[in-house]
Amino acid sequence: MRALKYLGLAAVAVTLAACETVPKAPVSQEPTYEQAQNHPLRLANYQAAEALIKSIATTPVSVSTNNQRLVEPTAGDSPIIVATLANIDALEQSSTLGRIVSDQVANRLTQLGKQVVELKVRNGIYMKRNEGEFMLTREIKEVAAAHRAQAVIVGTYAESVGFVHISLKLVNPENSLVLSAHDYALPLDRQIRSMLILR
């Protein structure tokens, strides 16, 4: 009887030892305010806005990573319209990602002293495909004329394996000529994937 008791205790000890060797699942850490402030998505979109206007800047602009306005708009400086980015495979559709990219680009232009007209058209088509080229729609041209906008920023995004590719163009609304362009990619991580659902 005593031998059975020791045998049972030994079995329990072996079971407990085996449980200790099983690796514990990592505890997921919540993001911090510091990480939110310096989030790479916002910084990438800010850099894209700076790159777009660099070639057409009429006054020197000092670049900063904070959210403060750096330069006041100059007199006679015509506004810029920022359209919502469209899915390259369905130009009549956008997503949370398309909207946040355009919002952050517009915000950065404002911080850099540019006058920005916010263009949000519910269920609107922001661009059209014409013989393989992306053209401004009549709606955008009308809004640009009404606001006497010097340029319109349009863009597309495309999902691939591991990345989302973003293409932005600064376009003259009168003749659809591209004044400036900037391409960049975002990692297709869990956060970006959650914002790609078409809405």
CA–CA distance, 133 with 175 (Å, rounded to integer): 14
Q: Does any domain span residue 2?
A: no
Contact 110, 116 (CB under 8 A): yes
Residue 136 sits in a domain of what CATH number?
3.40.50.10610
Residues 6+ apart with CB under 8 A from 2: none
130 pLDDT above the threshold of 80: no
Q: Does any domain span residue 11?
A: no
Q: Does any domain span residue 180?
A: yes
Higher pLDDT, 38 or 15: 38
Q: What's the average model confidence in pLDDT over 42-53?
A: 95
DSSP 8-state code for residue 161? S
Q: Does any domain span residue 25?
A: no
Domain count, the chain: 1
Q: Does any domain span residue 64?
A: yes
Q: Does any domain span residue 140?
A: yes
Q: Does any domain span residue 6?
A: no
Full domain range(s) for residue 111: 38-194
Residue 109's pLDDT is 95
Contact 91, 156 (CB under 8 A): yes
Q: Does any domain span residue 29?
A: no
User: Taking the model in full, what pTM does it have?
Assistant: 0.71
Q: What's the average model confidence in pLDDT over 154-160?
A: 93
CA–CA distance, 63 with 111 (Å, rounded to integer): 10
Higher pLDDT, 6 or 52: 52
Residues 6+ apart with CB under 8 A from 38: 65
